Structure 1
Amino acid sequence: LVGAAVYTGREAALGFLVGGVFGLGLAAIFVHSRLAERAFMPYIVASQTIPILALAPLIAFAFGNGLVGIVIVASYLTFFPVTIAELRGLTSPDPRALELMRSCAASRWTIFWKLRMPASVPYLFAALKVAATASIVGAIVGEGNPGGSQFGLGRAILNFNEQYITGPEKLWAAIIAAALLGLVFFLVVRLLELYALRGRPHAAVG
């Protein structure tokens, strides 16, 4: 199971990275364009109402059952909390601070990097802690597709489920391994948060 956990962890990490970057990009676009937010946010929210078990086979059909398809499933579960929380963070600066920077002829780019991004960091890490564990779920679901990966925890859980009567301990071991992997991802993000927010007491969100 250690090898299966490492394999799933690699897929989840890639999905976490892709989904996180995509979510950050969407939030950055939306904070600068209310029109884009009004146009696309309803569809982004609606996309999260589709059960991942129904969507994963469609993704596998379109992109294959290999690494790409699994990473897309993981990133699908990752990008949404990052988008919502980062957008909230980017819009959190004091309006007076925004007006001050604008009165000093600061460009949108300067305001974004010097004011909005620093203010959004606690919100971002709150979302990343959720996204980190969600990426594990996405990777496992992606591996469980028919014809999917034969090496990860998702496939191990399916195989051990079929052998539950004769060896229930194997299934429970795989489930515990998945939970521990999610905990590792969470703790890594938490450590990064503590490092990034050092010197900023009470800055954490969630």
Structure 2
Amino acid sequence: MWGLAGILAIALLWEGYKLVGPANGVEVGDLRIMPRTTDLAMPHVWDMLGRLFEPVTRADDALPLWAAVALAALTTLGIAAAGWLVGVVVGVGLALVMQRWRIAEWGLLPWIVLSQTVPLIAFAPIVKSWGSRIEIGAFEWQDWMSVALIASYLAFFPIAIGALKGLQSPDRIHTELMETYAAGYWQTLVKLRFPAAVPYLLPALRLGAANAVIGAVVAEVSTGLQGGIGRILIQFAGQASGDPAKAWGPIFGAIVLGLVAAGSVALLGVILSNYRRNEEHA
């Protein structure tokens, strides 16, 4: 309900500014702080929505724009899902190591934080170049694997931080109680630390899923991978001068894709409902 209200409010703001805003945008000196309101820069909302149901091209067998965007989004979603799974394994693994040994936390955590400062758009072509040289027997590195690896690079960070905070969340009295029961490390981890980490881990997994989609889209743009939504974003943006509403189709698709990815993690919350209590943000 509130989501629909938010979408409606954005549409009204869009049309309101387009109605009253200057054609050349709002400028302060030589700096434009608000966009132009021409149909080329800001198509009407109904034009953008209507364009979704028109063919992508004038060819007789051309798909509607929404169908082309949906197919591209499914391709990107599959790649992002693979990257998210890798990010979960790496993030939780690092959290376990840092929780187990404090010296590992001191040594790894600064580098984990520093890793997120690398500009992704410059890093993606390097990953593709390295991956193309990997050949192990009959195995050959595929271009989509580079995109999935970059998606995992963005996904693992919030998962590692959230999992670490969750694993460290049990009070001393609870850990001491496990010690009085002669519980070992693995028993304490399974019976106490993992259940305690769930309220921290679920929001981190949702954020990691959204980050994986962002990483996949950016990597598709940077590496030129065909078939994904990142590629058609660039392709349709190049056609915006003649068909401005068309360029917004993949933008809407990318937004829905991120929402679907983050919302899918909510299914884990249903499965782990006995452990959720109040979710905590890392």
User: TM-score per shorter chain, which class?
Assistant: over 0.9
Greater Cα radius of gyration, structure 1 or 2: 2
Q: How does 1:183-198 map to 2 (within 5 A)?
A: 183-197=259-273
CA offset at residue 176 of structure 1?
0.3
CA offset at residue 68 of structure 1?
1.2
CA offset at residue 179 of structure 1?
0.5
CA offset at residue 201 of structure 1?
6.9
Structure 1 residue 123 and structure 2 residue 200: aligned? yes
Please give the alpha-carbon distance, in whole angstroms, between the structure 2 residues aligned to 1:128 and 1:38. Answer: 23
Alignment match, 1:144: 221
Structure 1 residue 132 and structure 2 residue 174: aligned? no
Question: Is residue 199–residue 277 contact of structure 2 (8 Å, CA) maintained in 1?
Answer: no
Please give the alpha-carbon distance, in whole angstroms, between the structure 2 residues aligned to 1:171 and 1:205. Answer: 38
Please give the alpha-carbon distance, in whole angstroms, between the structure 2 residues aligned to 1:38 and 1:120. Answer: 20
Residue from 23, 27, 49 that aligns with 2:91:
23
Alignment match, 2:243: 167
Please give the alpha-carbon distance, in whole angstroms, between the structure 2 residues aligned to 1:51 and 1:7. Answer: 24
Question: Aligned with 1:145: secondary structure?
Answer: helix
Question: Is residue 98–residue 105 contact of structure 2 (8 Å, CA) maintained in 1?
Answer: yes
Structure 1 residue 81 and structure 2 residue 158: aligned? yes
Please give the alpha-carbon distance, in whole angstroms, between the structure 2 residues aligned to 1:68 and 1:191. Answer: 26
Question: Is residue 87–residue 152 contact of structure 2 (8 Å, CA) maintained in 1?
Answer: yes
Spell out, residue by residue over 1:35-77, the C-alpha distance to the aligned partner (whole angstroms, 9 max, x if none).
Answer: 1111121111111111211211221121147111001110000
Please give the alpha-carbon distance, in whole angstroms, between the structure 2 residues aligned to 1:202 and 1:105. Answer: 27
Q: Aligned residue pairs: how many?
A: 204
Greater share of helix:
1
Question: Which piece of structure 1 moves more, 53-62 or 93-102?
Answer: 53-62
Question: Is residue 143–residue 154 contact of structure 1 (8 Å, CA) maintained in 2?
Answer: yes
TM-score relative to the length of structure 2:
0.69
Which residue identity lines up with residue 194 of structure 1 in the other structure? V
Q: Which runs of 5+ in 2 are unaligned?
A: 1-68, 133-141
CA offset at residue 190 of structure 1?
1.7
Q: Which runs of 5+ in 1 are unaligned?
A: none
Which residue identity lines up with residue 30 of structure 1 in the other structure? M
Please give the alpha-carbon distance, in whole angstroms, between the structure 2 residues aligned to 1:102 and 1:188. Answer: 37
Spell out, residue by residue over 1:132-166, the C-alpha distance to the aligned partner (whole angstroms, 9 max, x if none).
Answer: 111111111111124x3110001000111111111
Please give the alpha-carbon distance, in whole angstroms, between the structure 1 residues aligned to 2:172 and 2:247. Answer: 53
Which residue identity lines up with residue 168 of structure 1 in the other structure? P
Which residue identity lines up with residue 84 of structure 1 in the other structure? I
CA offset at residue 172 of structure 1?
0.6
Alignment match, 2:129: 61
CA offset at residue 107 of structure 1?
0.6
Which structure is higher in RCO with an 8 Å CA cutoff and minimum separation 6?
1
Structure 1 residue 154 and structure 2 residue 222: aligned? no
Which residue identity lines up with residue 115 of structure 1 in the other structure? L
Alignment match, 1:178: 254
CA offset at residue 200 of structure 1?
5.1
Please give the alpha-carbon distance, in whole angstroms, between the structure 2 residues aligned to 1:110 and 1:186. Answer: 31
Question: Which piece of structure 1 moves more, 12-21 or 35-44?
Answer: 35-44
| Runs of 4+ deviating beyond 4 Å | none
CA offset at residue 126 of structure 1?
0.8
Question: Is residue 91–residue 116 contact of structure 1 (8 Å, CA) maintained in 2?
Answer: yes
Structure 1 residue 3 and structure 2 residue 78: aligned? no
